[in-house]
Structure 1
Amino acid sequence: MARYHIETYGCTSNRGESRQIEQALRDGGHHPADGPADADVAILNTCTVVEKTERNMLRRAEELQEETADLIVTGCMALAQGEEFREAGIDAEVLHWDDVPQAAMNGECPTVTPDTEPILDGVIGILPIARGCMSDCSYCITKRATGRIESPSVEENVEKARALVHAGAKEIRITGQDTGVYGWDVNQGTSLLPELLDRICSEIDGEFRVRVGMANPKGLHGVREELADVFARHEELYDFIHAPVQSGSDEVLADMRRQHCVEEYLEVVAAFDDALDYWTLSTDFIVGFPSETDADFQQSLALLRETRPEKINVTRFSKRPGTDAADMKGLGGTLKKERSSEMTDLKMDVVAEAYESMIGDRREVLVVEDGTGDSVKCRDSAYRQVIVQNASEYGLEPGDFADVEITSHQTVYAFARPV
């Protein structure tokens, strides 16, 4: 039986892939090692979102090949840029996620144990509902790794969610490269996400919460009212959506080949505003795209001010090899840095305003993980982060639900005390 070590970098979807790899290894009778030096095989699940990340992946692969007997490299960088590892002289098998378990088991017949419990991260269970996307963004290299959407059935995903809850999960994180287009490949271009969420919340017994991962505005737009209604009807769902708009300019969105326009994004936001009194909008912006003018950038700032998302990821454009945008004449690094700084300042003002507005409110929260020192990290119904200090005094630990009063904030999270 092999002893394995897995390291995962990148998004929650990548973490979900690693959970599936580990589940297959556990089901086959294999066991986690204490670290790479004690492992028969090390598995590096890579990310390739920006050039700096690539360098970090190559450096970590070099370190791991010195520490362990065999190295397998998988994930987005491995699938999109596998030649980078070979050119760096790294002695590793570069494999698709699905091929990792069999390679790690070295051809042994697995000793399958069907009753093996799903693998949790504390009280958090990760549920990848599909792999791939339907987009063709001009700047994205990840699509070379993940390909077009492949959607398991709703029934299969419901059963996976049920297994996670029965294993002790209190928070299920639904992931995918684009959860909004789940089912497009089997349902004539219409998302099955509303049906999946409705069934998870209606058919699974237990006290738990569900967070829906990144969903591009185009996929959400066609089912926006149906989806918002599902959120309104089920308290199990965190009232939270992550819809990355990327730019406030339709011209830039067209050059990015983002499929949606600004108005469609606004209509998604409006549908949730109409259905929910208290919810969290999360979005992403890319600043410094090669065709972005100052007027385009100002439109992005205006959109941020108008929709006031409580969670915002700001990324400076980075050319990715093999993408169409890499061939475009880029903007200077100084200009990109200035725009990033200006948007980040606005972001912090918007987010701080949202958390400041919570002070004095009472909320039910779920404790999801331990924090620094004697504190715990919690999430309220809109997935806003709430910190409770001196948690041991209140007997709080991950998996507990608690009623708290918000006492203060620190820009991107709130502090609270149990009541």
Structure 2
Amino acid sequence: MATYHIETYGCSSNRGESREIERALRDGGHRPAERPEDADVAILNTCTVVEKTERNMLRRAEELAEETADLVVTGCMALAQGDLFAEAGIDAEILHWDEVPTYALNGECPTTTPDAEPVLDGVVGILPIARGCMSNCSYCITKFATGRVDSPPVEENVEKARALVHAGAKEIRVTGQDTGVYGWDTGDRKLPELLDRICDIDGEFRVRLGMANPGGIHGIHEELADVFAANPKLYNFIHAPVQSGSDDVLEDMRRQHRVDKFREVVAAFDDRLEHWTLSTDFIVGFPTEDDADHVRSMDLLAEVRPEKINVTRFSKRPGTDAADMKGLGGTVKKERSKAMSELKMTVVGEAYESMVGDEFQVLVVEEGTGDSVKCRDSAYRQIIVQNAAERGVEVGDVLDVTVTGHNTVYAFGEPTDGDRAADDATDSAPTTA
């Protein structure tokens, strides 16, 4: 079981994000370490209010990098001035806060709550559709806690989704260790049917499908892509973690897919959807990964160009088969992780840059930092609207925005004049008795 240490600086928003990180890590079987030097990963959630604060953040990051094997820096300074850490010679992974749990979880499957019951958080409904997985990955410890997949009937999950909508959910997140294997234990691949049925529920809401391993959805990927194309309520988004571009490494990881299967999944969605987001994960520095394997992973990332990429530096989990393998040196893993992270930022930055100047309809899903809100377009890309209160924009609203800029991993949007004009016209229209 892995350990973590987290330090948070700055505003209440940063503290809230750190709580979300901790919740995800604990759900994944991780536990806090008493001291940074006892942790497998240290997480520094930064602030960047004034120059003195920046110097303090750099100094603390340098200290943590010396005390721990793996340092992650997130928060405001990481996103606004992430290059300062590299310029200072600090070896750290620079991530948006919601990428931190996936990175720290070492490519392992997420876990659901023990009772696997739905939860409404603001306007976001969390719907665990099953517990457990069908994989036996050599590096994953989660499988020991969750066991094989156990899939409740479709109707039961549909009723839970309906209850979330009636309770005010505007976004339903369908979750599980591996959503793609929903129904395998009963001999029926039920995920396409379940998504169809959830989208048939009356109401205005969106649905996001959670992590589905390529091996789990391959075989239903054509049908699944058809369901996405037919249902506008579904975000055009899939999270299919490939983990490596090398079939040899995938075999050593005991993954249930090979690279060609991953490509076939991507091709099915490319064929049916004009705009969609591919999210995927890579584990860098697996014990049997050689230079050629790493190049294959880099080439695959450059080829498929996902819009969301999680890069994880491999670390051993006690009790797993991979923990007994002779590992690569820390320097090798760091160099490969740095190279892939740089390519990731280029690929993701280009994707968000291509959005600038275009108009998108978005759902406001949660409050952001200060007077801002976080929105999602139809492909689940994050667009930040600032000065939300001044504009009368609230969580749960649907509005059109024009993308005016980006910060590599998310975009900035301005509500269109058409929206404001329509609101003004409504406010000034005469009423009749």
- TM-score by structure 1 length? 0.74
Distance in 2 separating the partners of 1:10 and 1:196: 30
Q: State the one-letter code of the partner of 2:318.
A: P
Q: How does 1:67-82 map to 2 (within 5 A)?
A: none
Q: State the one-letter code of the partner of 1:270.
A: A
Shift of 1:121: 0.9
Aligned with residue 226 of structure 1, among 223, 227, 252: 223
Aligned with residue 365 of structure 1, among 362, 366, 371: 362
Count of equivalent residues: 325
Q: State the one-letter code of the partner of 1:196.
A: L
Distance in 2 separating the partners of 1:227 and 1:365: 23
Q: CA RMSD in A?
A: 2.4
Shift of 1:182: 0.5
Cα distance change of structure 1 residues 346 and 263 upon mapping to structure 2, 3 Å threshold: same
Distance in 2 separating the partners of 1:251 and 1:45: 31
Cα distance change of structure 1 residues 351 and 233 upon mapping to structure 2, 3 Å threshold: same
Q: How does 1:107-118 map to 2 (within 5 A)?
A: none
Residue 185 of structure 1 aligns to a residue whose secondary structure is helix
Q: How does 1:76-95 map to 2 (within 5 A)?
A: none
The reply on whether 1:192 has 2:177 as its aligned counterpart is no
The reply on whether 1:142 has 2:145 as its aligned counterpart is no
Aligned with residue 30 of structure 2, among 48, 52, 59: 48
Shift of 1:8: 7.1
Residue 184 of structure 2 aligns to a residue whose secondary structure is coil
Q: Which residue of 2 aligns with 1:303?
A: 300
Residue 306 of structure 2 aligns to a residue whose secondary structure is coil
Q: Which residue of 1 aligns with 2:152?
A: 152
1:175-204 Cα shifts (integer Å, max 9, x gaps):
000000001001x2x5211000001001x1
Q: Which residue of 2 aligns with 1:289?
A: 286
Cα distance change of structure 1 residues 49 and 232 upon mapping to structure 2, 3 Å threshold: farther
Distance in 1 separating the partners of 2:22 and 2:139: 17
**Unaligned segments of structure 2, at least 5 residues:** 1-18, 42-112, 417-433
Q: Which residue of 1 aligns with 2:168?
A: 168
Q: State the one-letter code of the partner of 1:158.
A: V
Does the CA contact (< 8 Å) of 1:131 and 1:149 recur in 2? Answer: yes
Q: State the one-letter code of the partner of 2:312.
A: T
Q: State the one-letter code of the partner of 1:146.
A: T
1:269-316 Cα shifts (integer Å, max 9, x gaps):
000000000000000000000000000000000000000000000001
Q: Which residue of 1 aligns with 2:114?
A: 97
Does the CA contact (< 8 Å) of 1:10 and 1:47 recur in 2? Answer: no
Cα distance change of structure 1 residues 231 and 54 upon mapping to structure 2, 3 Å threshold: farther
Does the CA contact (< 8 Å) of 1:10 and 1:46 recur in 2? Answer: no
Cα distance change of structure 1 residues 406 and 9 upon mapping to structure 2, 3 Å threshold: closer
1:146-205 Cα shifts (integer Å, max 9, x gaps):
10000001000000000000000001111000000001001x2x5211000001001x11
Does the CA contact (< 8 Å) of 2:119 and 2:127 recur in 1? Answer: no
Distance in 2 separating the partners of 1:54 and 1:405: 47
Does the CA contact (< 8 Å) of 2:385 and 2:412 recur in 1? Answer: yes
Distance in 2 separating the partners of 1:98 and 1:183: 18
Percentage identity across paired residues of the two chains = 71
Shift of 1:97: 2.6
Residue 224 of structure 2 aligns to a residue whose secondary structure is helix
Does the CA contact (< 8 Å) of 2:28 and 2:142 recur in 1? Answer: no
Residue 197 of structure 1 aligns to a residue whose secondary structure is helix
Distance in 1 separating the partners of 2:177 and 2:265: 19
**Unaligned segments of structure 1, at least 5 residues:** 1-6, 15-43, 58-95, 102-117
Distance in 1 separating the partners of 2:156 and 2:37: 34
Does the CA contact (< 8 Å) of 1:151 and 1:185 recur in 2? Answer: yes
Q: Which residue of 1 aligns with 2:409?
A: 412
Does the CA contact (< 8 Å) of 1:182 and 1:192 recur in 2? Answer: yes
Q: Which residue of 2 aligns with 1:398?
A: 395
Q: How does 1:336-347 map to 2 (within 5 A)?
A: 336-347=333-344
Residue 174 of structure 2 aligns to a residue whose secondary structure is strand
